[in-house]
Each structure stands twice: as C-alpha cells, then as structure tokens.
Structure 1
Amino acid sequence: MKLYVTVIGLFLILMNFFPQGIMAQEKTQFAMVGLSHGHSPWFFEWGKQEGMELVGVYEPDAALANRFKERYDLDESLIYDDLDKMLEEKKPEGILVFGPIFYHLEAVEAAAPRGIHVMVEKPLATNLKDAKRMAALARENNIHLLTNYETSWYPSTEKTYRLFEQDHGQLGEIHKMVFHHGHQGPKEIGVGPEFLAWLTDPKLNGGGALVDFGCYGANIMTYLRHGERPISVRAVTKNYKPEIYDKVDDEATIIVDYKDAQGIIQASWNWPFNRKDMEVYGQSGYVITKDDEHMRWRFAGQKEVGSEVKAEELDLISNPFVYFDNVIKGNFEPAPYSLYSLENNLMVVEILDAAKESATTGKTVRLK
C-alpha cells in the first residue's frame, strides 16, 4: 500500500513539472483544401505522421475527390465540396492548400477568421494585391500563413545558408546567386489533367514557368540576403512550345539586382531533365548544389570539397507537414525571412510581379 501511494505521488509531482512530457500532445487536426496540385498526394503517402489527424478534404471536382477517396481509402464523411461547410463542421487547426494558386486567397479568407492556420503550396499568390490581402488577414486573425517549397526541406539549401553564415570570413559577402529550376515541361513529364489545366492558365497560375519555377530562386535568395529588398528586376520570357503552352511562357530568365549583389533565376519547362540546383558566389569562395543532398564548395586558397549532406546532421525538419505541425503546436516560430515565412513569400510575389511586368514591357522594373 505504501509503495502504491509513493508511486502515485511521484507521478503527480512529475505531472506538475513535466505535463507535456508525461502526457502526449493531442493530434493536430488537418484538412486538405484542394487536390488538383501534383504535390497533393505527399500528405497521404509520406507526410502524415502519428501526431496528425486528417479530419476533412475539400475538393469541388467530384471525380477527382472520388479517385483520392478510393486510392487512399478515405471515409466518405471526410469529403466536402463546400469549403465553408467543411471548416465549420470539422474545425481543423490547420489547412493544407493544394489547388490553383488563384484560390489561395479564398482559402485564407475562409480559414483566417476562424483562427485556422494555413500552409499553401508555392508560391503564396498569383499577384501582390492578393498576397497583401492574405498577409493582412493572417496578421489580423493571429494565424500562421506559411508557403511550402520542395527546396525548403533540402539539406543542401540549408547547408548553403549556414556555410555563408558560419564561415563568413572564408566565403565573403555574397555577390552572385544563380538558380536553375524546372523540368522538361508539365505535359512532357505527365502531370495529371486537373493540374495541367490550371498550371497553364495565366489567371489560375499567374503565369507559366516564370511563376512555377521562378518562385524557387526568389525564395532562396531572399533567405540568403536576410530579406534585403532588391533594387530592380529585369526579366525575359520565351515560348518555345506554343503548340503545347499557348497561353503562358515556358521559359524565363529573371535578373534581380541588389545594392551589392545580383540574383539570376533560370526557370524553365525546357530543361532536358529535372533541375533544382544553384550556385552562390562570395568574394572568396563558392557553394554549388547538385540536388537535395549533393553539393560542393571551395574557400580561397583551398581545394574544392564535395559532400553528401543529410537532414539529420543539420537538425533540419525534412517533412514540411511536420514543420507546419510544430508551428501550430507552438514548438517554434518561423524566423523572419526564413524559407516558409510570410515575410519572405510576400517578397517572392513582389519579385514575380515585377518580373512579369518587365517581361511584358521590356523594361527594368524598379521596386518601390
């Protein structure tokens, strides 16, 4: 009896000091808003973890919703074709937005007043007006509004940032950043018909390759430059395959000028293979990435070093949904101008808007 009382007492003491450690945190309730993006299967196939629960799926296309229901054995009660009804009945803590970019604003307008956190697939919005409205709603309603990029959870992206931060004296100030992002083209790689339909629509996607892949470089350079505001943007777009992409560009080169640095973004639906790599040059060294884990760098007076970098050694969360889950649970807050952050992604949309204007007018656009 005495032993029993002692054990109970010890448990109560531990509960007072470590309430979160003793009692497992409740599962975060998520809902999917849109399924037409080619990345939407990520959450179902590898993103969802033990600490997450899917409570609702909004998709206005009944045939598409039914395919996901059958493929992932989803309960009929999860599926909705009315966004407001789904949010009202299911009350998720966070939504994952995987539909046309044009409707990102609609999702935030529905979620923010309800106090629901939002993660959208890149980029934040199709235009700066919508992006600013989304940011205002997020701030007014005290919610997190994050943007997910595949490159945000690349160990090579984070390692590049840290090399310039930690070994600043050896690499020197960044003067040039060159980004190569894209693939052979969405139709060529076989994206689904629902995705292709809006990806090649200038209203729903906001543009072609310029938006689809130009956003990656803008996001990473904003991170590397600690949110420094560019002075100007110049862009040239091409349409090499008008028989396939008759409404949007399939090739874009964007030059982003800073006071003492330059970013060059090469976004393309014409690469002979998939690319997500970059080159960053300092005064006395460089860092060049090949893919998500393989990279090389060189300091002045030293030989080039090649490395395979793993997320574990950087303590990097390589699952965007786990990252979002941690933010919702209050385990950490995205740093200003970090890759997922609202500040960074407002800048991204501003750069893309300026690039589209420059490509249309043939003139350099100075940021206000």
Structure 2
Amino acid sequence: MSKLRVAVIGCGSIAKHRHIPEYAENSNVELVAFVDPVIERAQQYANEHGGQAFADYKEMLAAVKPDAVSVCTPNYLHAEQTIESAKAGAHVLVEKPMAVTDEEAAAMIEAAKANNVKLMVGHNQRFMPPHQKAKEILQTGVMGKVLTFRTSFGHPGPDAWSIDGADSWFFRKEEAIMGAMGDLGVHKSDLIRWLLDDEVSEVAAFVGTLDKKDTESDDNASCILRMQSGAIGTLVASWTYYKGEDNSTVLWCENGVMRIGTDPVDQVIVELRDGTINKYQTGEISTNEKQLSSFVVEKFVDSIINDTEPAVTGEEGRASLKVILDAFESQATGKVIKVQS
C-alpha cells in the first residue's frame, strides 16, 4: 500500500514535539509538506524530513494535494484551515480547542462530512496510560457510581513552552481567543466526559487573568460542573503553576476513591472502603518537560488506513469545547449555565 501523504500546517511547539516526530516515526506516513508564515521553520522540517515548505496553506493544498493534514496553528485559524483542507479532499487532525465558537465547530463537522473525509480532534488525554487504566477500572463497576471529582491541569504557561516564549500567539487574545481554558481546560472537559462516560449538564466558573503580564488571555479558571448523572466536581486550568506541572484527577465514588496522576510512581491508586488498596504503574502522562507519545497521530493514521471512525470525532471535540465556552459565559454573566447538548 502506498504511504499516506501528510502535510503539517503550523510549525510551532506542538508540531515540533508531537505531530512531526510522531508522523516521522509512523511507517505508513510520508511527510510531504510543512507550512508556516515563518518560512524558515517550515523549510527546516522540509530539509530534515523531505517534502516542500510553504508560507501559505492554500498554496500548499493546491500544489501538493495531501491525503491528510495536521492543523497546528493559533486557535482562531483552526476552523478556516480545517474546512479548506476538507474541501481539498484531505483528512484533518486539528489541535484542540477544535474551534473558538460552537458555530465554527459545527461547520467543520459539516465540511468533513460533505467532502467524505475524516475529522479528528487532538484530545490526547484519553490515550494517556493512567487514564486508560482508570477507565478500565471504572468499567468493572468495582468503584460503584462516581459521586464527586476534581480534575486539574496546570503548568507555568506558554511563555515557558511555546516556540515564541513570551511573544507567543497564546497571549494575543485576538488569535488565541481562549487562554489557559483553550490550552488546558478543554483537555480536562474532554477527559472527564470520556472517563465518566457522561455529559456535563451545568457549569459555573471563575475565569480571569491573574498574573500574566500584558495579555487579556485567561491564565486561570476554576469551574464547578454538574454531570447528567448528578455527579458534581471541579475543573481547574492554570498557566501559573510555576513550581511544577499538575495533570491529576481524583474520583470519589460509592465504594472508594481513585487517584490518577497524583503519584509519580503509582500513576493510578484505588483505595476501597473495605480497606483494599491497589496501586498501578501504568506509565506516565506526557508533560512539557517529558515528551512521551501522545498516541493521537497513531490513532488518526489508523482511522484513515482502516477506514474507521476517528478516536476523537468532531462531535466529541465540539461537546468538550461547549463546556469551555459555557464556562466563559458563566464568568461573563455571573450565572450557572445549562450546557445544551
């Protein structure tokens, strides 16, 4: 079988650390094009992996006609570039948040359907080994019903992570639209929906810029979620965890507690009410400091080759985005927002 011809649109940190190396390692893929307005960045990867460099993604789509693309650009470009790529007949893996409005997300899903291409959203938290193990345990029923939870994702911010540091687009609100909530919060809304196999029914939130200078992008959010099952919990996103990243989730259930990502050695710890304690060393969650496979590229490529539904569909990405958009609405109005499914 001929290899899948893939183009990467946007050559910043997420492309550098995740998409490009994961495509390069995949024996079913040939990297054929790299796009970045800073043409030198695209050229560097073309020199390294073969393929062509472009400053304009539309030129690339017309010239190269790739089988698939990764959209790794600032948030405000995701919808346009996904829709144009779908129209050009390319399958699309788009970084999260998939869009900046619900209308955009709906249009992206429609474009993929209309052009008979796959659309996958890069929500990698579902594939992290501790989260996979946690879901497996929950599905056995040993924990009983999840009653309450907290899920948190924080790190020192894009100034420490982005290829452009403090000059990153993440801090330009007109390009990012959402700060820590679009970067980290949407990962956690996706994770909690998937982990609990449940939808968020109501959200109340405080979202603001507490410490990052010269930006209107939010750097912290604390949200209260009510799930359709009745479970209630908190979701926290932060760019001001200056003394170490946190990506942890704790579930308090009828029969005990499950701690995920709270211990560096035992990534999943289950403590049951009867005194039983089970600890699982599943392998770690990838962090900015320690880049491990995100599995996203592998799942995307597999879905194309095997013609199966992507592991995170556009509809899933849209549902996770809605929670974040409603959190912003709660902050703006001071009200509890009912999440429309």
**TM-score bucket of the superposed structures, by smaller chain:** 0.7 to 0.9
Please give the residue correspondences for 1:252-263 in structure 2 after superposition, counting only pairs within 5 Å.
252-259=221-228, 260-263=230-233
Aligned to 2:209: 239
Supply the AA of the counterpart residue of 1:241.
D
Instruction: Report the count of equivalent residues.
Output: 327
Query: 2:203–2:330: 8 Å Cα contact kept in structure 1?
Result: yes
Superposed displacement of residue 116, structure 1: 1.2
Aligned to 1:361: 333
Superposed displacement of residue 267, structure 1: 0.4
Distance change >3 Å, CA 302–CA 93, structure 1 → 2: farther
User: Which of 276, 279, 298 is equivalent to 2:271?
Assistant: 298
Task: Determine if the alignment matches structure 1 residue 217 to structure 2 residue 185.
Answer: no
Task: Determine if the alignment matches structure 1 residue 128 to structure 2 residue 102.
Answer: yes
Distance change >3 Å, CA 37–CA 100, structure 1 → 2: farther
Work out the CA distance in 2 between the residues paired with 1:35 and 1:43: 9
Distance change >3 Å, CA 365–CA 256, structure 1 → 2: same
Please give the residue correspondences for 1:95-114 in structure 2 after superposition, counting only pairs within 5 Å.
95-114=69-88
Query: 1:36–1:195: 8 Å Cα contact kept in structure 2?
Result: no
**Which runs of no fewer than 5 residues in structure 2 stay unpaired?**
285-292
Aligned to 1:43: 19
Work out the CA distance in 2 between the residues paired with 1:173 and 1:347: 22
Aligned to 2:290: none
User: Which of 3, 22, 42 is equivalent to 1:65?
Assistant: 42
SS at match of 1:204: helix
Aligned to 1:202: 173
SS at match of 2:85: helix
Distance change >3 Å, CA 343–CA 263, structure 1 → 2: farther
Superposed displacement of residue 245, structure 1: 4.8
Aligned to 2:30: 53
Please give the residue correspondences for 1:114-193 in structure 2 after superposition, counting only pairs within 5 Å.
114-165=88-139, 167-168=140-141, 170-187=142-159, 189-193=160-164
Q: Deviations over 1:324-359 (max 9, x none)?
A: 11001126434xxx6x22222111111111011111
SS at match of 1:122: coil
Distance change >3 Å, CA 265–CA 118, structure 1 → 2: same
SS at match of 1:139: helix
Please give the residue correspondences for 1:246-325 in structure 2 after superposition, counting only pairs within 5 Å.
246-259=215-228, 260-271=230-241, 272-290=243-261, 294-310=267-283, 319-325=295-301
Superposed displacement of residue 297, structure 1: 1.1
Supply the AA of the counterpart residue of 1:28.
L
Root mean square deviation, CA, Å: 2.3
Work out the CA distance in 2 between the residues paired with 1:52 and 1:214: 31
Work out the CA distance in 2 between the residues paired with 1:248 and 1:265: 18
Supply the AA of the counterpart residue of 1:118.
V
Normalising by structure 2, we get a TM-score of 0.88
Query: 1:28–1:53: 8 Å Cα contact kept in structure 2?
Result: yes
Work out the CA distance in 2 between the residues paired with 1:310 and 1:67: 32
Distance change >3 Å, CA 346–CA 195, structure 1 → 2: farther
Work out the CA distance in 1 between the residues paired with 2:172 and 2:103: 19
Identical residues among aligned pairs (%): 21
Q: Deviations over 1:195-248 (max 9, x none)?
A: 85311122322221122111111001111243x442211110232214x25312
Aligned to 2:289: none
Work out the CA distance in 1 between the residues paired with 2:163 and 2:57: 23
Query: 2:162–2:168: 8 Å Cα contact kept in structure 1?
Result: no
**Which runs of no fewer than 5 residues in structure 1 stay unpaired?**
1-24, 312-316
Q: Deviations over 1:77-118 (max 9, x none)?
A: 511123222122222111011111111111122111232111
Tell me which structure has the larger Cα radius of gyration.
1
Distance change >3 Å, CA 183–CA 263, structure 1 → 2: same
Supply the AA of the counterpart residue of 1:237.
V
